[in-house]
């Protein structure tokens, strides 16, 4: 085909000088084809592409049949494209995979070829309400608006079918041509054509099957992110309903059908490929999308699919931005419906660390593979960096014991467990609940699961396999070695845990070991029928380990320790007049032969008393300063010690020391510390911690103080702390700062809003900080809705208007902050037009001034924001009535002018959309 056309061109243009041919030409088939093609499609500014190219192809076969001329031309262009692809693939096989077969100067010719096919083939055959409007694309191959004539039905279907199948073969054949067209002109158009042929009214079942399969194949050649982009562009205000329905279904289908569907959705909606700045508003929108289950799927199948994809994202700990976003989405879903997260994300972690029993009949089965266990650990690690208190408590419930076993096994293998330990410490820090630490202590030497055990796989990574059935004998020596190793590992963990938790766990274990109840009875139980001697021994060893390694830390908060000492010594009081001094109040165990156990009981009592007195001695020795509460407790201890000092020299010595301490400290004792002061101190310390979850937890503690209206903080102080953290580069810390600032606005609006407005307006402040403050204000307005007060609206309106206006003598203002101010102003108009009533003339003066005067390319974002503000205004509850008298005509004129003349495609498109919106509202108003 192309050879015949080439001969025709040589007859028409015999002089090579007219063709501006290069001095050196190649005889390669690809280069010769491009040479012929460049002559064929070279057009003048006023040439009709179809007529002119037809004359060059068939100079002796003139015809008045326009469809025939178009068909001949499109056939010729498609043949050239097929030849170019064939020769390109052949050339590439010689050059190698790393080389591009298309010369740079030939790429422009290829672009012109595909543009001609798209405009005069695809667009000419599509209805006006299908596809991306041509003026919105402004294809680079043409400098001026492109004109073409539409092909009538049914001829359009015949030609479009030929074009779509030919172009589809280009994408299936691969090579450089496929890659170039996939990213440039071509892919969107063949996909659009195929969808139209599938969905058009009157399509047969055979056609639907054919083009459904073709669309599936086309989608496979494209990245999911690009498909989101293409399909979103194909939905226009005027799109045909049948076409729109299919696109909407495909957008929903991409999330579940593509392996990276959720990730691509996050990247597309969040704009992460252009900018890694996170918008909380966009994340909430993504969450709403993911919660919208398609009608064609069951809830279980859909959320299992989406949960699996979120799980896969959480695995990639080396992508902190993406994992932070995924964690935020999971947290949002958890707050709406916790069962979704529990059943479809957490369960995957639990089943990996504590797998269900295999139903296989083989002797030994792998229950959790190396990669699956490693992935589960990465997900847990991600949650410990970014997770919330409620989620972490839920996640730890079934996980804490198998995770501890995993940690011990990794330590036993002599691999680096820094990450494993840090993840556990972070989880304990987030929950701040001694319960989890005590569960570890009570399962300190558990070696493995009921029917599974850890092992090392071929990749030198840990996996879980089914345990060999049978009784395994453990020597006493190994048992004690395991206990010592476990205690050492526990102390390593406690080294990074906060002092309060270490002290609390020490007390829990000591109470359990002494069997002292927390109830008001305060009785000492020496033993019970269900007692486990080994557990008692284990508790004692843990107590010794904590006392040795963390003695100084235990003394930093002595009040709880003193309470325990008081509880125990009260059990030794002589109130009941028992024949045995010091045993009153002790609950004796029921034994058949009490006489034979008297000696043992007395030994246990003496041992318990010795431990308690040693604890009291340590408190008195290590505590440098005692507050009023601690001194009161010492006074309460004096008569208790006095009661047992007759038979115990240690008690007498401690009594003397207490008297000495109280005498020295008399009159200079510190006042009781407010518990909120301790929380504040902990919060400030956490904010300076190098670990992300610790800093985030510090912000959480500040929010707790704000919610409780604590008097230990001032609003200005908390605002300053949050603004300092607002500069934190970690996404999760930033998201927590936004939460805190929003809470401050809600709880102390009259104080905080003016302060935020000053920072937002101040040109001396950091631009990024001002933009983030703007995001907080935008969320505040959105949540306030029509309850936005006149005072708040006044502060926001005066601030934003002063930032948007531009005067000759004013310093240049970054358009990004002006656009942010426009967004805030627009949201005020949208949610509470009544509160903004007096400012609407000023608002529209700014809008009209921007549309008329700020017309350069670098001012595009301002024109876009101005059009969005008009749309916000007419989208309010007042509708068109929100436009003040005298401004309606000016707004319409400005929008129409921008629609026709603006240099930016998106601005023109937005103006057209708003004009359509106004037309619809007007029709509703007059009842048409």
Distance CA 42, CA 112 (A): 9
Higher pLDDT, 659 or 827: 827
Q: Is residue 521 scored above 50 in pLDDT?
A: no
Distance CA 452, CA 448 (A): 6
Average of per-residue pLDDT across 432-437: 91
Averaged pLDDT of the chain = 82
Q: Is residue 531 scored above 60 in pLDDT?
A: no
Distance CA 649, CA 90 (A): 100
Average of per-residue pLDDT across 773-794: 86
Q: Report yes or no: 261 and 224 within 8 Å, Cβ to Cβ.
A: yes
Per-residue pLDDT, 532: 63
| DSSP single-letter state for residue 673 | P
Average of per-residue pLDDT across 72-101: 88
pLDDT band at 584 (very low <50, low <70, confident <90, very high): very low
Q: Is residue 556 scored above 90 in pLDDT?
A: no
Q: Which two tokens stand for residue 636?
A: 């309460």
Q: For residue 793, which of 823, 827, 762, 828 has the smallest C-alpha distance?
A: 828
Q: For residue 612, which of 662, 657, 653, 562 has the smallest C-alpha distance?
A: 562
Domain ranges in the chain are: 28-222
Q: Is residue 6 scored above 80 in pLDDT?
A: no
Q: Report yes or no: 561 and 619 within 8 Å, Cβ to Cβ.
A: yes
Average of per-residue pLDDT across 514-534: 49
Per-residue pLDDT, 25: 58
| DSSP single-letter state for residue 367 | E
Distance CA 342, CA 358 (A): 22
Chain segment 735-776, per-residue pLDDT in tens = 788 888 888 888 778 888 888 899 888 888 888 888 888 888
Chain segment 276-322, per-residue pLDDT in tens = 677 788 888 899 999 998 888 899 999 999 999 999 999 998 888 89
Strands 586-587 and 462-466, sheet pairing:
unpaired
Where helices occur in 584-674 by DSSP H, the ranges are: 594-622, 628-644, 649-665
Residues in Cβ contact with 661 at an 8 Å cutoff, skipping those fewer than 6 apart: 620, 626, 631, 634
Q: Sort residue 202 into left (φ over 0), alpha (ψ -120 to 50) or beta.
A: left
Distance CA 697, CA 432 (A): 10
Distance of CA 106 to the CA centre of its chain: 43
pLDDT band at 904 (very low <50, low <70, confident <90, very high): confident
Chain segment 840-860, per-residue pLDDT in tens = 999 999 999 999 988 888 888
What are the contacts of 340-345 at 24+ separation with CB within 8 A? Answer: 340/303, 340/307, 341/307, 341/391, 341/394, 342/394, 343/303, 343/307, 344/303, 344/304, 344/306, 344/307, 344/308, 345/307, 345/310, 345/311, 345/314, 345/379
Q: Is residue 670 scored above 50 in pLDDT?
A: no
Task: List, as one string, the DSSP characters of 719-747.
Answer: HHHHHHHTT-S-HHHHHHHHHHHHHHHHH
What are the contacts of 785-793 at 24+ separation with CB within 8 A? Answer: 785/831, 785/832, 786/831, 786/832, 786/834, 786/877, 787/832, 788/828, 788/831, 788/832, 788/835, 789/835, 790/835, 791/750, 792/749, 792/753, 792/835, 793/828, 793/832, 793/835, 793/836, 793/839
Per-residue pLDDT, 809: 64
Distance of CA 769 to the CA centre of its chain: 21
Q: Which two tokens stand for residue 630?
A: 């601690």
Q: Report yes or no: 496 and 421 within 8 Å, Cβ to Cβ.
A: yes
Query: In angstroms, how far is the first alpha carbon of the chain from the final one?
Result: 56
Per-residue pLDDT, 585: 34
Q: Report yes or no: 256 and 293 within 8 Å, Cβ to Cβ.
A: no
Distance CA 94, CA 92 (A): 5
Q: Sign of torsion, CA 616 618 621 622? A: negative
Distance CA 699, CA 680 (A): 10
Sheet strands (E) in 216-257: none
Where helices occur in 258-357 by DSSP H, the ranges are: 261-270, 280-290, 299-315, 320-336, 338-341, 347-353
pLDDT band at 606 (very low <50, low <70, confident <90, very high): low
Per-residue pLDDT, 26: 65
Q: Is residue 874 scored above 50 in pLDDT?
A: yes
Distance of CA 859 to the CA centre of its chain: 32
Q: Is residue 886 scored above 70 in pLDDT?
A: yes
Residues in Cβ contact with 71 at an 8 Å cutoff, skipping those fewer than 6 apart: 159
Per-residue pLDDT, 808: 63
Distance CA 522, CA 511 (A): 11
Chain segment 225-277, per-residue pLDDT in tens = 999 999 998 988 788 999 999 999 999 999 999 999 999 999 998 888 877 67
Q: Is residue 779 scored above 50 in pLDDT?
A: yes
SS (H, E, C) 459-499: CCCEEEEECCCCCCCCCHHHHHHHHHHHHHHHHHHHHCCCH
Per-residue pLDDT, 625: 62
Higher pLDDT, 137 or 826: 826
Q: Is residue 88 scored above 60 in pLDDT?
A: yes
Q: Strand order of the sheet with strand 462-466?
A: 366-368, 462-466, 452-456
Rg (CA), the chain: 38
- Count Cβ atoms below 10 Å from residue 663 Cβ, excluding itself: 8
Per-residue pLDDT, 674: 66
Average of per-residue pLDDT across 905-923: 84
Distance CA 314, CA 345 (A): 10
Helix and strand tally (H, E) in the chain?
43, 5
Higher pLDDT, 690 or 425: 425
Per-residue pLDDT, 589: 37
Distance CA 676, CA 697 (A): 15
Q: Which two tokens stand for residue 217?
A: 């194949």
Q: Which two tokens stand for residue 744?
A: 């401050």
User: Percentage of the chain surpassing pLDDT 90?
Assistant: 33
pLDDT band at 524 (very low <50, low <70, confident <90, very high): very low
Q: Report yes or no: 323 and 375 within 8 Å, Cβ to Cβ.
A: no
Q: Is residue 605 scored above 60 in pLDDT?
A: no
Q: Is residue 444 scored above 70 in pLDDT?
A: yes
Task: Look at residue 670 and give its three-state secondary structure.
Answer: strand
Task: Look at residue 444 and give its three-state secondary structure.
Answer: coil
Based on the number of CB atoms within 10 Å of its own CB, is 865 exposed (0-12), middle (13-18) or buried (19 or more)? buried
Residues in Cβ contact with 343 at an 8 Å cutoff, skipping those fewer than 6 apart: 303, 307
Per-residue pLDDT, 449: 85
pLDDT band at 591 (very low <50, low <70, confident <90, very high): very low
Least confident piece of the model among 199-213, 573-587, 645-659, 859-873: 573-587
């Amino acid at each position: 085909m192309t050879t015949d056309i080439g001969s025709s061109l040589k007859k028409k243009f015999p002089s090579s000088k007219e063709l501006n041919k290069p001095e050196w030409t190649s005889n390669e088939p690809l280069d010769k084809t491009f040479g012929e093609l460049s002559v064929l499609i070279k057009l003048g500014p006023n040439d009709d592409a179809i007529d002119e190219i037809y004359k060059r192809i068939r100079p002796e076969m003139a015809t008045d049949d326009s469809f025939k001329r178009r068909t001949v031309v499109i056939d010729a262009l498609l043949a050239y494209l097929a030849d170019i692809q064939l020769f390109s693939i052949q050339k590439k096989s010689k050059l190698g995979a790393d080389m591009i077969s298309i010369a740079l100067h030939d790429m422009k010719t290829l672009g012109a070829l595909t543009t001609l096919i798209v405009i005069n083939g695809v667009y000419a055959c599509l209805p006006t309400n299908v596809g991306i409007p041509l003026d919105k694309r402004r294809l680079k191959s043409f400098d001026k608006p492109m004109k073409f004539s539409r092909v009538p039905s049914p001829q359009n279907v015949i030609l479009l079918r030929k074009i779509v199948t030919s172009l589809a073969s280009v994408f299936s054949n691969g090579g450089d041509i496929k890659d170039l067209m996939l990213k440039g002109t071509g892919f969107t158009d063949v996909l659009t054509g195929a969808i139209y042929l599938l969905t058009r009214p009157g399509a047969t079942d055979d056609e639907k099957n054919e083009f459904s399969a073709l669309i599936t194949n086309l989608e496979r050649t494209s990245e999911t992110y690009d498909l989101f982009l293409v399909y979103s562009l194909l939905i226009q205000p005027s799109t045909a309903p049948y076409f729109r329905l299919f696109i909407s279904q495909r957008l929903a289908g991409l999330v579940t059908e593509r392996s990276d569907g959720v990730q691509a959705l996050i990247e597309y909606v969040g704009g992460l490929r252009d900018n890694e700045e996170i918008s909380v508003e966009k994340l909430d929108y993504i969450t709403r999308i993911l919660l919208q289950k398609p009608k064609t799927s069951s809830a279980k199948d859909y959320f299992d699919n989406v949960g699996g994809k979120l799980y896969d994202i959480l695995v990639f700990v080396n992508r902190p931005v993406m994992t932070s976003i995924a964690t935020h989405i999971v947290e949002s879903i958890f707050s709406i419906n916790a069962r979704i997260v529990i059943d479809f994300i957490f369960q995957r972690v639990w089943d990996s660390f504590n797998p269900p029993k295999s139903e296989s009949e083989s002797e030994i089965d792998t229950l959790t593979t190396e990669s699956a266990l490693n992935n589960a650990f990465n997900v847990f690690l991600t949650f410990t960096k970014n997770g919330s208190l409620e989620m972490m408590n839920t996640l730890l419930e079934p996980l804490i014991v198998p995770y501890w076993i995993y940690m011990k096994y990794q330590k036993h293998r002599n691999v680096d467990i820094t990450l494993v330990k840090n993840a556990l410490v972070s989880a304990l820090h987030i929950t701040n609940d001694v319960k989890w630490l005590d569960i570890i202590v009570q399962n300190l030497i558990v070696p493995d699961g009921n029917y599974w055990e850890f092992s090392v796989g071929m990749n030198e990574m840990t996996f879980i396999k089914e345990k060999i059935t049978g009784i395994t004998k453990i020597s006493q020596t190994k048992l004690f070695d395991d206990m010592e190793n476990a205690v050492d590992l526990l102390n390593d963990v406690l080294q990074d845990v906060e002092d309060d938790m270490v002290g609390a766990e020490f007390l829990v274990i000591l109470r359990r070991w002494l069997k002292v109840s927390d109830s008001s009875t305060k009785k000492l139980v020496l033993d019970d029928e269900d007692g486990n001697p080994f557990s008692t021994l284990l508790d004692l060893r843990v107590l010794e380990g904590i006392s040795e390694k963390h003695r100084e830390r235990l003394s930093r908060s002595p009040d709880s320790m003193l309470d325990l000492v008081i509880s125990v010594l009260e059990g030794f009081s002589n109130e009941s007049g028992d024949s045995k001094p010091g045993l009153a109040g002790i609950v004796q165990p029921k034994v058949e032969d009490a006489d034979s156990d008297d000696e043992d009981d007395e030994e246990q009592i003496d041992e318990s008393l010795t431990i308690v007195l040693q604890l009291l001695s340590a408190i008195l020795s290590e505590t440098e300063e005692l507050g009023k509460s601690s001194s009161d407790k010492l006074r309460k201890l004096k008569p208790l010690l006095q009661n047992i000092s007759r038979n115990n020299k240690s008690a007498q010595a401690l009594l003397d020391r207490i008297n000495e301490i109280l005498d020295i400290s008399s009159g200079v004792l510190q006042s009781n510390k407010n518990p909120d002061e301790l929380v504040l101190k902990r919060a400030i310390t956490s904010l300076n911690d190098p670990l992300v979850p610790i800093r985030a937890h510090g912000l959480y503690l500040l929010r707790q103080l704000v919610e409780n209206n604590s008097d230990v903080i001032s609003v200005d102080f908390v605002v300053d702390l949050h603004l300092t953290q607002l500069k934190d580069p970690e996404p999760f810390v930033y998201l927590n700062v936004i939460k805190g600032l929003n809470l401050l606005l809600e709880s102390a609006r009259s104080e905080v809003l003016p302060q935020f407005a000053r920072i937002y307006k101040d040109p001396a402040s950091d631009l990024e900080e001002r933009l983030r403050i703007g995001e907080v204000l935008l969320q505040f307005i959105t949540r306030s809705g029509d309850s936005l007060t006149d005072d708040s609206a006044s502060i926001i309106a005066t601030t934003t208007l002063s930032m948007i206006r531009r005067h000759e003598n004013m310093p240049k203002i970054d358009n990004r902050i002006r656009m942010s101010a426009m967004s805030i102003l627009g949201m005020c108009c949208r949610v509470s037009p009544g509160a903004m009533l007096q400012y609407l003339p000023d608002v529209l003066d700014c809008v009209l001034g921007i549309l008329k005067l700020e017309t350069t390319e670098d001012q595009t974002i301002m024109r876009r924001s101005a059009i969005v503000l008009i749309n916000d205004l007419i989208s309010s509850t007042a509708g068109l009535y929100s436009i003040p008298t005298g401004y309606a005509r000016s707004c319409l004129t400005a929008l129409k002018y921008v629609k026709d003349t603006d240099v930016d495609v998106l601005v023109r498109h937005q103006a057209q959309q708003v004009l359509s919106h106004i037309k619809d509202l007007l029709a509703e108003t007059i009842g048409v």
